[in-house]
Amino acid sequence: MDKLPKIALPAVFIIILLIILISKSAITIKSGEAGVLYRTFDNGVVTDEPPLNEGFHIVAPWNKVFVYEVRQQEVFEKMKVLSSNGLDIQLDASAWFQPDYAQLGKLHQEKSEMYKERILLPAIRSAARSVVGRYTPEQLYSSKRDAIQVEIFEETRNIVDDQYIQLNEILIRDVTLPPTIKEAIERKLKQEQESLEYEFRLVTALKEAEKVTIEAQGKADANRILSASLNDQILKDKGIDATLRLAESPNSKIVVIGSGGDGLPLILGNN
């Protein structure tokens, strides 16, 4: 009985030591994350093996694991850039990105966990200044926003492609111009719209006038053709036909032969 405490004390110590070692060695990688292993006594960051994937892992207690989110992420950035004529433009943009999973070890070794602040955001700012500097405020405000978004994406991707960062999209959220410039552009756009509307009404009126002219010309041509076709002989023949039909009708009438100015009979009376 006297020996039990002497045996139990080392056993308790060993159990406590094992608990500490296990707690230091057990690593759980959550969903959407991956781990970079750092071997304290063996060349540091592991770059020639895949990252630690989701789940439970046991590592030596003297080693470390750096956990990275490998899902698509979004970062927002507000920038002041210059247009082609030197005016200040505020650009609100966001980027969809994620680290290159296969190169996660190199990303940690060369760029660190601050890769967004050290690599991605400076690349977006540089590309935005380069692209916006090629356009006027009016183009930025109206017709070129989609083109600018694509160009900023392409230039940013070219910068970060070899930096172990996968860039998925750049979105231009807002373009803010100086108030005086914005008002001037809106007035110009309004005037252009009014001018287009006036031109439309003018073209419509001209087409309507052309339609009336064509119809009038058609009627005039028809009358001219009809007049040219009605000579004296045709008129006399038609008059004779009409006289014969009247004479054959049952109504009472008086026929005076040869009394018309054109030699046709005169038919008088209805009784």
Per-residue pLDDT of 22-80, as tens digits, reads 666 788 899 999 999 999 888 899 999 999 999 988 888 888 999 999 999 999 999 88
Shared domain for 139 and 95, answered yes or no, is: yes
H/E element holding 153?
helix 145-160
Domain count, the chain: 4
The dihedral built from the CA positions of residue 89, 93, 99 and 103, taken in this order, carries a sign that is negative
Q: How far apart are CA 124 and CA 167, in angstroms?
A: 11
Shared domain for 94 and 167, answered yes or no, is: yes
Burial of 200 (0-12, 13-18, 19+ CB in 10 A): exposed
Amino acid letter at 103?
A: Q
Shared domain for 80 and 160, answered yes or no, is: yes
Ramachandran category for residue 130: left, alpha or beta (phi over 0 → left; psi -120 to 50 → alpha): alpha
54 backbone dihedrals φ, ψ, rounded to 5°: -60, 145
Q: Provide mean pLDDT across the span 100-113.
A: 93
pLDDT, position 62: 85
pLDDT value at 8 more than 80: no
pLDDT, position 135: 86
Q: Provide mean pLDDT across the span 151-163.
A: 93
Instruction: Give 17's contacts (C-beta < 8 A, 6+ positions apart).
Output: none
Shared domain for 14 and 90, answered yes or no, is: no
Q: Provide mean pLDDT across the span 210-218.
A: 79
Q: Provide mean pLDDT across the span 187-216.
A: 72
Residue numbers of the domain that contains 92: 73-177
Under 8 Å between Cβ of 32 and 9: no
Shared domain for 107 and 17, answered yes or no, is: no
Shared domain for 222 and 254, answered yes or no, is: no
The domain that holds 95 is classified in CATH as 3.30.479.30
> Which of 162, 177, 192 corresponds to the end of one domain?
177
Provide the pLDDT confidence category of residue 154 given band limits of 50, 70 and 90: very high
pLDDT, position 116: 94
Average pLDDT of every residue of the chain: 79
Shared domain for 205 and 148, answered yes or no, is: no
pTM for the predicted model, two decimal places:
0.61
List, in sequence order, the alpha helices (H) in 59-120: 104-110, 115
pLDDT value at 209 more than 90: no
Per-residue pLDDT tens for 159-177? Answer: 998 999 999 999 998 888 8
Shared domain for 23 and 86, answered yes or no, is: no
> Which of 134, 159, 177 corresponds to the end of one domain?
177
pLDDT, position 82: 85
